[in-house]
Structure 1
Amino acid sequence: MKLQPILITLLVALVLVTGTFWFLKTYEYKAVDEYVGLRGEANSNPLFAARLFLQRMGIPAERKDSLQTLPPLNTVLLLDTPDDSLSRQKTDTILAWVERGGHLITHSASLPLGEYVIPENEEWLAIQRGKGFITLVADLARIENPAIGDETRANAKFLWQLVHKHRAVPAGVWLIHQDAMPPLWQLIWKHAWALVLTLALLLPLTLLALSPRFGPLIPQSAPERRRILEHIHASGLFMWQRQRKHGDTQYHDFIAAAEQLTQSTRTQHDNTYPDA
C-alpha cells in the first residue's frame, strides 16, 4: 500500500476535526426572541387584546364589525372607529340608544360631540344623556394592540375602569373598531328572501322545461275528409247570399247545374267512397 494516500487521508481528517472543534468553541446555539409583528386577527383588529383581557377577567366580550344592530342596554358599547366613519343617521341611532339607558365608551373622533370637551390633563369625561352615559375618552389607543400590555401605564386597568364606570357588573361588552357593510348575500337574504326562494324554485323548473325530451313522436291525426255534398252546399249558400245582395243572375244556372250534378253523382260517390 502506498504511503501518499494514507497521508492525504490523515491530513483531511485533521482539517475536519480542527475545523469542527473551532466552530463549536466559537459559536453557541442560543434561542433569541425576535419581533415579527402582529399576525392574524391581532393585525386587523386593534381591540383583539382588549377582548381577550375582558374575557379572561370574566366579562363576555364580543367583536362586532358593524352597527347594524345595537346591544342590550345592560351591555357596554365600546366604539373605536376611524374619524368621521359614522353617518349622521347612525350617530343619532347610537345617541338614542344611550338615552334609553345604554353606556357608550368612545372618543371624540368616532362620535363628535361638539358641546363636550375633555378638560386638560384629564383622561376621560363622563356625560349623562337621558338614562344612559357616555364616557368620552381622550385617547383610546391605550387599550389597542399592543399598548394594552404596557404595565407602566396600567392600560389594562384603565380599560377595566372604563367598563365598570357606570355599572358594577356589566352584562357584556361589544367592541367595535369599524362600521363595515355586511356581505352582499346577507343584504339580499335580509331584504329579498322571498325573491331568492322564488328564483330557487323557478330555476330547476325552467331547466326541466328547456331540457330535450326523448322518446317517439306523438302521431298526428290525418286531416278529416269532407263529403262532396258539403262542398256543393257551401257553394250554393255562397251563391244564394251573393244573389240576395247583388242580384247575381248566375245563381239560377248554378242551382240547375248543382241539382243535375247531385242526382248523377250521389249514388256513384257514396258507393265508391263510403267514407268521403
Structure 2
Amino acid sequence: MNLRTALATALVVLLLAGLGYWWWRTHERVEEWIDLPRSGEAASNPLYVLKLALKKDGVKALSRQRLQPDRYPLGARDTVLLLRDPRQLSASDAKALLAWVHGGGHLIVRTPPLGELSAAASIPVLTELGVKFFPQRETDCVAMYVEHQDSHVEFCQGRRFLLMERAPVPLRAWGADDTGYVFARLPQGRGSVDVIADLDFAVNAAGEEHEEAIKDAPHIALLRQLLAPNYRSGGTVHLIYAADVPSLWMTLLTRSWMAWGPMLLALLLWLWRRAQRFGPLLPSPASERRSLLEHVLASGEHVYRYGYGHLLHAAVRNAFLLRLRRRDPQAAALDGEPQAALLAERFKLTPAEIREALATPVARDHAAFRSRIATLIRLRNSL
C-alpha cells in the first residue's frame, strides 16, 4: 500500500468516526405511540367494542352480520341486538324471532333510519307488535340525565314511533302518545322486545362524530339498562350488525393511489407526446412514388434531353415492325416503296406519311419527333 492510499483510508476512517460520534451525541432513542387505523373486525364491526366489553364483564357475546339461526341456535335466556335495518329481515326470520321471544328471549330492535317511509309500510317484527310510525321525519332530541354526569341528549337522528291499540302495554316506555316514543319494552310471552329509535350510542365505528360514543358514561348506563332482562342469566348476547363495506372503486381511489397515480401520469405523458402539436395546419409530406410508368417516363425524358431521341424512335419503330411481322408477314417482308404503298392502303394514309413515320427524325426537331412517334403508336395499336 502506497502513501496516498494509506492517507485516503485514514481520512475516510476519521470521517466515519466523526460522523458516528456526532450521531450518538445529537440523537436520542425515544418511543412514540401512534394510533393506527382500525383493521380486521374492528374496522368492519360497529359492535366490536361492545362485544369486548361484554366478554370482559363475564357475558358470552357473539357478533355477526346475519342472524343465521341454523348455525347459531338461540337459547331461552339469550339476547339478540339487531343493529341492522329491520326492513332487511325476511318474513321467516321475523316469525322465528317472535316465537323465540315467547319462549323467554330478549330482542332489541331499532326503528328504520330516517328517510322516506310510508305510514302503511309493513316492517317485519314491528308491524306484528303493533308499532307504527309518523309519516314525516322526526329529528327531535331527547334529554337524558345520569347521576353525577352532565346533561345529555339522545336519539337526535332516530325515528320515533307510536303504539297501536292492539300493541301490548309496555313494561318500560320513553316518550308520549302525542310526541311519539323513542323506547318501549313490550312483553311477549315469557320474553320481551325492546323497540328503540336508534342504537348509535352502542357503536364504535359509525362515523367521526360517533366513533367513541360507546365509551361515554351515559351511553354505558343506557346500554346496561337495555340489556338488563337477560343480563348475566347464563345466556348469550347475539350482536347482529350490517357491515358498511366501501365499494371497490372507492377503495382503489383512496388506498391504491400509489399504484394508479404514476400509471395515470405515465399515460398522460404518453398521450401528450403522441398528440399533434397546436399550430397552423401543415400539408402532409409527399410520399415516395414507386410507379413504374413514372420511372419509364422520366427515363425517356432524360434520354431525349441528352440528344438520344433517335434511340427512342428506333425502339417504337421496332415494336411496330415486330407486331407487323406477327399480324401481316407479307407487308413486313417488303421494303421501301412497295411496303409504304401497301401500309398506306391498309391504314388509309398516304405513302409519304408512312415513309416519314419509319424514317429517323432529325435531332432536336421536336415536332417531327412527336408526330412520328404518335403515328407509329397509332399504327401499332391498329394491328
Query: Normalising by structure 1, what TM-score?
Result: 0.52
Distance across 1 between alignment mates of 2:93 and 2:57: 31
Distance across 1 between alignment mates of 2:68 and 2:216: 37
For residue 57 of structure 1, what is the amino acid of its counterpart?
A: D
Shift of 1:15: 1.4
1:81 aligns with 2:84: yes
How has the CA–CA distance of structure 1 residues 158 and 33 changed in structure 2, closer, same or farther, with 3 Å as cutoff? farther
For residue 145 of structure 1, what is the amino acid of its counterpart?
A: N
Distance across 1 between alignment mates of 2:33 and 2:4: 51
Does the residue aligned with 2:32 lie in a helix, a strand or coil? Answer: coil
Structure-to-structure mapping, 1:79-118, within 5 angstroms: 79-82=82-85, 84-109=87-112, 113=126, 114-115=131-132
Structure-to-structure mapping, 1:113-192, within 5 angstroms: 113=126, 114-115=131-132, 120-121=141-142, 123=154, 125-131=183-189, 132-145=191-204, 147=211, 151-153=215-217, 155-164=219-228, 166-167=229-230, 169-170=232-233, 171-178=235-242
CA contact (8 A) 1:49 1:148 kept: no
Distance across 1 between alignment mates of 2:107 and 2:133: 15
How has the CA–CA distance of structure 1 residues 174 and 31 changed in structure 2, closer, same or farther, with 3 Å as cutoff? same
Give CA-to-partner distance per residue, 1:11-36, whole Å, 9 cap, x none: 21221122223333443333322333
Shift of 1:135: 2.3
1:48 aligns with 2:112: no
Question: Which position in structure 2 is the counterpart of 1:193?
Answer: none
Shift of 1:53: 1.5
Structure-to-structure mapping, 1:169-248, within 5 angstroms: 169-170=232-233, 171-178=235-242
Does the residue aligned with 1:84 lie in a helix, a strand or coil? Answer: helix
Shift of 1:90: 2.9
How has the CA–CA distance of structure 1 residues 43 and 168 changed in structure 2, closer, same or farther, with 3 Å as cutoff? closer
Question: Which position in structure 1 is the counterpart of 2:75?
Answer: 72
Question: Which position in structure 2 is the counterpart of 1:233?
Answer: none
CA contact (8 A) 2:203 2:214 kept: no
Question: Which position in structure 1 is the counterpart of 2:332?
Answer: none
For residue 50 of structure 1, what is the amino acid of its counterpart?
A: L
For residue 121 of structure 1, what is the amino acid of its counterpart?
A: V
Query: Normalising by structure 2, what TM-score?
Result: 0.39
Q: Percent identity?
A: 29
Shift of 1:8: 2.1
CA contact (8 A) 1:148 1:156 kept: no
Give CA-to-partner distance per residue, 1:32-62, whole Å, 9 cap, x none: 2233322233233332332222122111222
CA contact (8 A) 2:77 2:236 kept: yes
Shift of 1:108: 0.9
How has the CA–CA distance of structure 1 residues 27 and 156 changed in structure 2, closer, same or farther, with 3 Å as cutoff? farther
Shift of 1:86: 1.4
CA contact (8 A) 2:86 2:110 kept: no
Give CA-to-partner distance per residue, 1:220-269, whole Å, 9 cap, x none: xxxxxxxxxxxxxxxxxxxxxxxxxxxxxxxxxxxxxxxxxxxxxxxxxx
Higher relative contact order (CA 8 A, sep 6+): 1
Structure 2 unaligned residues grouped into runs of 5+: 114-122, 144-153, 155-181, 206-210, 244-383
CA contact (8 A) 2:77 2:105 kept: yes
For residue 132 of structure 2, what is the amino acid of its counterpart?
A: E
How has the CA–CA distance of structure 1 residues 26 and 137 changed in structure 2, closer, same or farther, with 3 Å as cutoff? farther
RMSD, aligned α-carbons = 3.5
Shift of 1:174: 1.4
Give CA-to-partner distance per residue, 1:42-89, whole Å, 9 cap, x none: 233332332222122111222345334262232111111246321244
Shift of 1:105: 1.4
CA contact (8 A) 1:148 1:155 kept: no
Structure-to-structure mapping, 1:240-259, within 5 angstroms: none
Structure 1 unaligned residues grouped into runs of 5+: 180-276
Aligned length: 178
Question: Which position in structure 1 is the counterpart of 2:61?
Answer: 61
How has the CA–CA distance of structure 1 residues 87 and 168 changed in structure 2, closer, same or farther, with 3 Å as cutoff? closer
Distance across 1 between alignment mates of 2:53 and 2:64: 16
Distance across 2 between alignment mates of 1:22 and 1:104: 67
Distance across 1 between alignment mates of 2:7 and 2:68: 84
Give CA-to-partner distance per residue, 1:133-179, whole Å, 9 cap, x none: 22233432332335468534454444333211x34543221122259
